[in-house]
Chain A
Amino acid sequence: MYSSSILSIKKFGWGFLTSSTWDPFSEVFGALPMIYGTLVSSLLGLIIAIPLGLGVAVFLSELAPSWLEKPLSFLTELLAGIPSVIYGLWGIFVLVPWLRDSVEPFLQNEFPNSPFFQGAPYGFGMLAAAIILSIMVLPIISSISRDVLKSVPNSQREAAYALGATKWEVTKIVLSYAKSGLLGAIILGLGRAIGETMAVTMVIGNRPQISTSLLAPGYTMASVLANEFTEATSDLYLNSLIELALVLFVITIIINIFARLLVWSTERKWKLSPM
């Protein structure tokens, strides 16, 4: 990847990462808006998905009666099997009109001065992408978390009950026991969100710009690649796209290392002071 992006690396250097112009006609390429778009949409998606996903997992593993647990977990796992194009279409035909006609005007009325909700409510934009991503990531987080929680030995729960803990306190103990596994589930979800292409492309609005407003259109690295790779006619253009893929790759590696460290540190803490 490095060798086939050599042209653009030579031409733009580090400027590739800090410039925000993406102009195929005058052949000036800067990746900052896409890096920003990828990180913001994924993190936002995760912020929405984590409480929901963990909530679902806790409900299924700790609280739900068994006749409800089976069909519900089946349904959440089914969400993971839907192709992303279908999510994208659903986004265009259901989510975007809903955001445009009800949610975004509402947000603008409620928070007229917030920098996050400025600009025309297109429907398409960062917010739509984040919501789509959260729905796609949800089943990954919830089903892995559920399995992790299920594998917490029952003796832990019984011991806690024996000490007179309430249901809520028992749940807290189980959660802290399963911490590293839950982190793993979240990181897997993040990985999916960062690499997601199709559904995001269909709702994010595809504009290489950085805007604090969540209603404004944005762009992600994966979307640029999917959109522009086939018709990239000049060598420099193609090289820049490959460099973009390289950047995406590096970011994924960094996140993975970070996740490893996080898991490792929680495990160590746990070993030092078991419960």
Chain B
Amino acid sequence: MKIKILSIIILLAGLFGVTVKAQVKLTGAGSTFDYPIFSKWFDSYNKMTGVQINYASIGSGGGIQQVTTGTVDFGASDAPLTEEQMNNFKGKRGTEVVHIPIIMGGVAITYNLPSVGQGIKLDGETLADIYLGKIYKWNDPRIVKLNPGKNLPNQAIIVAHRSEGSGTTFIFTSYLSKVSPEWARRCGVSTSVNWPVGLGAKGTEGVAGIIAQTKGAIGYIELAYAKQNNLPYCQMKNKAGNFIDVNFNTVSEAAAGAVKNMPKDLRAVITNADGKSSYPICGFSWVVIPKDIKNNSHAEALVKFLKWAVTKGQADATSLYYAPLPKPVQKLDLEKLNSITSNGKKL
């Protein structure tokens, strides 16, 4: 009897021992925006390779903090790290931080004007002035001028925005700052800003709720959400002067347009990008990792996973309403990932 129990224990111990050895467990934390595609990736990657990845979607700020202190293997953020944060990272980890663009998101400008319907045209300055409270009627001459033939009502514009910090807000405000000097001066670029006018709502669904219920409302929401719910959205005038619908192609186009001027550290904010048919309000989401990773097995597993995610993994993007990274950006990502070292040695 005793021998039987003993042998079972040994067998179990052996089993666990083996599984522990075969599995590397990676941990990450950060952006909530990335969470849906991350969980899909982690699941399919786990099935393929046995590598387990745990991710806590605690928000970009928390992700940056945790990767800076080294409690997780990677952080995910919708906004690139500031100089101050990068210096802080270097001070704490003794190595530089690397930004890997991992997926793209577009921001749709939606509105509620049943009498007008789909496809109001706007340009950046007009949109900024709406959000600054300088344009407050839908039949303002500047909106009318952009929309010949559309019968715009004499209706107050009710501005809606996100009340919590969010990557979507970062992309949106970075666009407004690029097209309107006044916005850049008064409000700036951040995951949450001091809004001059409007109603704040929590989450994409909150903003969409305000818009759906309030005649004359306008707001910015993630492309995915706008598509899923068939909300009307604006055609935005891009840098080249064309009015562009928001969809996966025009968003990826914007990234491709930005590749030429891509900074070395890949911290590119690609709002108002060049390119004939690129949509102006969109951006990357980043995974941030240390350039030199102490733990060799973690380093190998992490880099392998990220390489898979920025190439094959992108096929999952559109089904979850993200925009995939265009080929040139994937190439830059791979180059960047090849430069990651473990204790000074190449992987």
State the A residues within 8 Å of B (CB): 21-26, 92-93, 96-97, 100, 120, 122-124, 201-202, 205-208, 217, 219, 223, 226-234, 237-238
* A233–B199 CB distance below 8 A: no
* A22–B214 CB distance below 8 A: no
* A233–B202 CB distance below 8 A: no
Number of A-B contacts (CB under 8 A): 101
Chain B residues lying within 8 Å of A223, measured Cβ to Cβ, are 163
Of chain B, the residue at the smallest CB distance from A23 is B194
Bound form: Cα–Cα A96–B190 in Å: 29
Bound form: Cα–Cα A24–B62 in Å: 16
Chain B residues lying within 8 Å of A206, measured Cβ to Cβ, are 163, 199-202
B192 at the interface (CB under 8 A from A): yes
Main secondary structure of the interface of B (DSSP, over half): loop
Of chain A, the residue at the smallest CB distance from B195 is A207
Give the residue of A93, A208, A231, A237 whose beta carbon is less than 8 angstroms from that of B164.
A231
Give the residue of B32, B60, B213 whose beta carbon is less than 8 angstroms from that of A233.
B60
5 pairs, A vs B, C-beta closer than 8 Å: A23-B194, A25-B193, A26-B188, A207-B198, A231-B59
Output the least CB separation between B193 and chain A (Å).
Answer: 5
Bound form: Cα–Cα A96–B214 in Å: 10
Chain B residues lying within 8 Å of A24, measured Cβ to Cβ, are 165, 190-194
Bound form: Cα–Cα A40–B192 in Å: 25
* B202–A201 CB distance below 8 A: yes
Of chain B, the residue at the smallest CB distance from A124 is B199
* B164–A230 CB distance below 8 A: yes
* B163–A201 CB distance below 8 A: yes
Given contacts A202-B202, A230-B58, contact A120 B156 (CB under 8 A): yes
Of chain B, the residue at the smallest CB distance from A27 is B190
Chain A residues lying within 8 Å of B209, measured Cβ to Cβ, are 92-93
State the B residues within 8 Å of A (CB): 32, 58-62, 64, 79, 82, 84-85, 156, 158, 163-167, 173, 187-195, 198-202, 206, 209-210, 213-214
Bound form: Cα–Cα A233–B199 in Å: 23
In the complex, the 6 A-B pairs of residues with the closest C-beta atoms, listed nearest first: A231-B165, A206-B200, A230-B59, A206-B163, A25-B188, A23-B194
Chain A residues lying within 8 Å of B59, measured Cβ to Cβ, are 229-231
Give the residue of A23, A122, A233, A238 whose beta carbon is less than 8 angstroms from that of B158.
A122
* B189–A25 CB distance below 8 A: yes
Chain A residues lying within 8 Å of B195, measured Cβ to Cβ, are 207
Of chain B, the residue at the smallest CB distance from A28 is B194
Give the residue of B62, B189, B199 whose beta carbon is less than 8 angstroms from that of A122.
B199
Of chain A, the residue at the smallest CB distance from B190 is A25
Chain A residues lying within 8 Å of B64, measured Cβ to Cβ, are 233
Bound form: Cα–Cα A223–B192 in Å: 14
Output the least CB separation between A98 and chain B (Å).
Answer: 11
Bound form: Cα–Cα A232–B61 in Å: 5
Of chain A, the residue at the smallest CB distance from B189 is A25
* A228–B199 CB distance below 8 A: no
Give the most central of B82, B164, B209: most A CB within 10 Å.
Answer: B164
* B200–A217 CB distance below 8 A: yes
Chain A residues lying within 8 Å of B189, measured Cβ to Cβ, are 25
Give the residue of B61, B198, B202 whose beta carbon is less than 8 angstroms from that of A227.
B202
Give the residue of A93, A123, A237 whose beta carbon is less than 8 angstroms from that of B214.
A123
Of chain B, the residue at the smallest CB distance from A92 is B209
Bound form: Cα–Cα A131–B319 in Å: 41
Chain A residues lying within 8 Å of B158, measured Cβ to Cβ, are 120, 122
* A233–B194 CB distance below 8 A: no
Give the residue of B82, B199, B213 whose beta carbon is less than 8 angstroms from that of A97.
B213
Chain B residues lying within 8 Å of A208, measured Cβ to Cβ, are 194
Chain A residues lying within 8 Å of B60, measured Cβ to Cβ, are 231, 233
Bound form: Cα–Cα A202–B202 in Å: 7
Give the residue of B84, B192, B200, B206 whose beta carbon is less than 8 angstroms from that of A231.
B192
Bound form: Cα–Cα A96–B156 in Å: 18
Chain B residues lying within 8 Å of A231, measured Cβ to Cβ, are 59-61, 164-167, 191-192
Chain B residues lying within 8 Å of A202, measured Cβ to Cβ, are 201-202, 206
Output the least CB separation between B58 and chain A (Å).
Answer: 6
Given contacts A201-B202, A202-B206, contact A25 B187 (CB under 8 A): yes
Chain A residues lying within 8 Å of B191, measured Cβ to Cβ, are 24, 231, 233
* A124–B58 CB distance below 8 A: no
Chain A residues lying within 8 Å of B213, measured Cβ to Cβ, are 92-93, 96-97, 123
